[in-house]
C-alpha cells in the first residue's frame, strides 16, 4: 500500500473515541512485568479479545513503537472486559 493510499484510508476511518481499552505491555525478559500501558481507542475490552488474527494487532502496535514484539507482549487475558 502506498503512502497516499494509507493517508486516504486514514481519513475515511472513523474511530469512536467514547470507547477505550487499556492494555498492559509486559516485558517477557523480566518475568512478565508490566512496563507500560497502551490505550486502544474505538474498541471495548471484548472487541480486543475477539479480533480476527488473535494478538496480531497488539504485535503490530508494539512494532510501531520500535520494540521487539517477542520481548514486549500485550496479552489478551489482560484485557479488561
Delimit the domains of the chain by residue range: 15-78
Predicted confidence (pLDDT) at residue 68 exceeds the cutoff of 90 = yes
- C-alpha of 41 from chain center: 10
Return the C-alpha cell found at 41: 481507542
* pLDDT-above-70 percentage for the chain: 77
Convert the pLDDT of each residue in 29-55 to its tens digit.
999 999 988 888 888 888 878 867 667
Three-state helix/strand/coil letters over the chain: CCHHHHHHHHHHCCCCCCCEEEEEEEECCCCCEEEEEEEEECCCHHHHHCCCCCCHHHHHHHHHCCCCCCCEEECHHHCCC
pLDDT at position 70, please?
Answer: 92
pLDDT at position 57, please?
Answer: 74
For residue 59, what pLDDT band results from cuts at 50, 70 and 90? Answer: confident
Region 59-78: mean pLDDT is: 87
Amino acid at each position: 500500500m502506498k503512502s497516499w493510499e494509507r493517508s486516504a484510508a486514514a481519513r475515511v476511518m472513523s474511530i469512536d473515541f467514547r470507547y477505550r481499552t487499556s492494555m498492559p505491555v509486559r516485558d517477557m525478559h523480566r518475568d512478565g512485568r508490566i512496563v507500560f500501558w497502551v490505550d486502544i481507542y474505538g474498541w471495548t475490552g471484548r472487541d480486543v479479545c475477539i479480533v480476527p488474527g488473535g494478538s496480531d494487532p497488539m504485535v503490530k502496535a508494539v512494532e510501531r513503537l520500535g520494540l521487539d514484539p517477542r520481548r514486549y507482549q500485550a496479552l489478551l487475558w489482560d484485557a479488561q472486559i
